[in-house]
Structure 1
């Protein structure tokens, strides 16, 4: 077995990777550093380190934006929407792959085509339908919206992954007396874990940080973290010191969530490469 040699090319690639990483970390530096500054210091020099840590920014932002309530709303909406997408998306994709016929193929084509439709083009019809069915200013209403808008990408990703699962595994389970639902939940769905983790991360990042749809659908009592953060930006003034502190508090949970699932992401990439 040949040992890997450390040469100039490897050194250059490492330096390039470090510089690229630093480039991506620059926005986080500005966000965190300025969240500890006073409003005057931010305007004076936003690139400098804070002269003293203004912890009061976080205390004021926490109270003004009612962070506990906003976090609770974001958490409930994100968890329920992502869970619904994972369950219904995986079941729909499995059905389309294992039962190929003209209407399943047409339905899959329509889901794929729906991914190119911009949300802004259907905002007005969405609000009209929401008013008709009393879905405005309710968590079930926005949950249904996320389930509809996220199904296209979710089904598309699951559809490709289900094809890599051997049919023989399911046939063996049927021979052992497993029901159709048992085949899916006991055999197929556990094998979809790498793609499920990917779908959970993608949809969680989207739903947690989404602003436009909650702005249209939710009232003041159901404001999510992005909507609460927007309260620091008025028509004539912008409270950058409090807004940046609020942004840090809003970003931190999803960053922790991503780091927690990082191991599963690597496992999913490895599993996909082995299958390929």
Structure 2
């Protein structure tokens, strides 16, 4: 895609049926998926198995001679007990990036919208048994609140999920040791037209990246949305949200601004076209506008 002077590349590692729809977004009544079948199937919902369809993907921005990577996936060879899709995964994000013309040394900035396992994995890679930054010249922008919460100061997420310690040790701590981390909070404008904004709820530091160029706008929302059903029902949090009430408030705020300002909404895990415009709907809700491949 092209947005003003920004080239946007989408690099998909995996796409398919993930979890039962009612497990992924438990606050949505089962009949809602069927009611919106035309909008959700087959790219976002498999009606035969009643499964949510998602993608593992990384977004690349080329702007003003700079290359920015957003949420570099799961990574390879990671201990992720209890998650067969992530555990000891052997994917090929570097190869897919190379085929898109992006070499690791070309990346100037890596944005982690939050510090869950599927957003930080390729921050690092294994070299002779040691985790080192995959993108050696990049500045890694990490939300300070997530770094504190999921790091040793926060007891690795309070110890509620043992995997949080593993994720921090193999995908975040090595960046600190290499001196590649820039922690930020609140609002952080790191280049012309590129602004990070904290939207806590999914995690303490979860964030969105706003892109503006030539009058065009997009907002990369990370895990603020897992399915288009959450645009239609913005009060419904995913099962992965640590603070569902706060996440819902942030989702309504971000979607409202997107509808007001004609921002293209780009979530981390949507299948299909991967990005969509949002409209205000009668009664104060939201409706799906054109998808990125139909604009």
- What interval of TM-score do these two structures reach, taking the shorter chain for normalisation? under 0.3
* Structure with more of its chain in strand, by fraction: 2
Q: Which has the larger radius of gyration?
A: 1
